[in-house]
Amino acid sequence: MMRGKGVKLIGIGGGGCNGTRILSRSRKKEISCVLVDTCWQSIEGENADGMADVIGIGAEIGKRLGADQNPGKGYRCAMADRSLLEKLMDDTGLIFLRIALGGGTGSGAGLAFTEMVSSAGNIAVVGLLTMPFSFEARNGIDMAEKYRRLIVSHLDIEVCISNDAARKCKNGNESINDMFQRIEQPFQSVITDISMKFEEFGRNPMKLKGFLALKQEQAMLQF
Ligand SMILES: Nc1nc2c(ncn2[C@@H]2O[C@H](COP(=O)(O)OP(=O)(O)OP(=O)(O)O)[C@@H](O)[C@H]2O)c(=O)[nH]1
Ligand SMILES: [Mg+2]
């Protein structure tokens, strides 16, 4: 088995895939991009230009329409297609995982995937997470926070940006899409910095894991 080499940027759920699309435009060609969603139509549409691989999950459970903002349902969709998700780990030493917390797929399927990756043990995982707007669902933030904690326990490093905080420093008549683009900018520099370190360590995920453990506190302060 050849593990510990490649770098992947993986988006799970609607916002995660949208963010991945934005990030994929300026990525280095060595980083391959994958979009994972329970809403099959949206990922196929998002990938009209074929820039990423697309994986629809949970066809039976989510009827190809989504996870209804239910993380339990998102989790079950991921488990139903476990082998497809496990295959993403082949030949991979570093994963950037873009998840927008607050719905069913990113939170639930995202958690299932991080569990799979952390039990493989030899892949470094960097979480690029966003928290939802507080005005959205009544229990949205609480549910998002619950899943954030569960997911973070399987990550080597977490970078989390709050949509609310980004909205507060919104400039003038910025559209929501422009704001979503702006939110990805710090993630872009995290991808650049960490993938350079990975190269420097000879693409050795275990060395990178040690390095990221030291960096965690700094990342939390910075973002
Ligand atoms: N930063 C950012 N946040 C987004 C984006 N799209 C949606 N969101 C936020 O992410 C939360 C979760 O939405 P989605 O990612 O669409 O949900 P999902 O994971 O697809 O879950 P289901 O649709 O329930 O299966 C929303 O409540 C929004 O606050 C995006 O492109 N960027
Ligand atoms: Mg969705």
Q: How far is the CA of 89 from the centre of ligand 2 (A)?
A: 23
In the predicted structure, residue 3 carries a pLDDT above the cut 70: no
Mapped to the 3 state alphabet, what secondary structure does the chain carry? CCCCCEEEEEEECHHHHHHHHHHHCCCCCCEEEEEEECEHHHHHHHCCCCCCEEEECCHHHHCCECCCCCHHHHHHHHHHCHHHHHHCCCCEEEEEEEEECCCCHHHHHHHHHHHHHHHHCCCEEEEEEEECCCCCCCCHHHHHHHHHHHHHCCCCEEEEEEHHHHHHCCCCCCCHHHHHHHHHHHHHHHHHHHHHHHHHCCCCHHHHHHHHHHHHHHHHHHC
| Residue 191 placed within a domain | yes
Q: Provide the number of structural domains found in the chain.
A: 1
**Chain center to CA of 84:** 16
Q: What is the pLDDT of residue 102?
A: 96
Task: Of 122, 125, 119, 120, give the one whose Cα is nearest residue 12.
Answer: 125
Closest atom of ligand 1 relative to the 166 alpha carbon: 1
- Banded pLDDT at 1 (limits 50, 70, 90): very low
Helices 205-222 & 176-200 angle (0-180, nearest 10): 140
Mean pLDDT value across the chain? 91
Q: How far is the CA of 197 from the centre of ligand 1 (A)?
A: 30
Q: How far is the CA of 124 from the centre of ligand 2 (A)?
A: 26
CATH number of the structural domain spanning residue 13: 3.40.50.1440
| Residue 205 placed within a domain | yes
For ligand 2, a single-atom ion, the residues with CB < 5 A are: 14, 39, 66
| Residue 19 placed within a domain | yes
Separation of alpha carbons 86 and 79, rounded Å: 10
Separation of alpha carbons 46 and 54, rounded Å: 9
Range of the domain at 213: 6-222
CB of 211 shorter than 6 A to ligand 1: no
CB of 34 shorter than 6 A to ligand 1: no
Separation of alpha carbons 193 and 195, rounded Å: 6
Task: Summarize pLDDT for 160-218 with one digit per residue, the tens.
Answer: 999 998 888 877 888 999 999 999 999 999 999 999 999 999 999 999 999 999 887 66
- Banded pLDDT at 28 (limits 50, 70, 90): confident
CB 151 within 8 A of CB 111: yes
| Residue 1 placed within a domain | no
CB of 130 shorter than 6 A to ligand 1: yes
- Banded pLDDT at 2 (limits 50, 70, 90): very low
Separation of alpha carbons 71 and 103, rounded Å: 7
In the predicted structure, residue 14 carries a pLDDT above the cut 70: yes
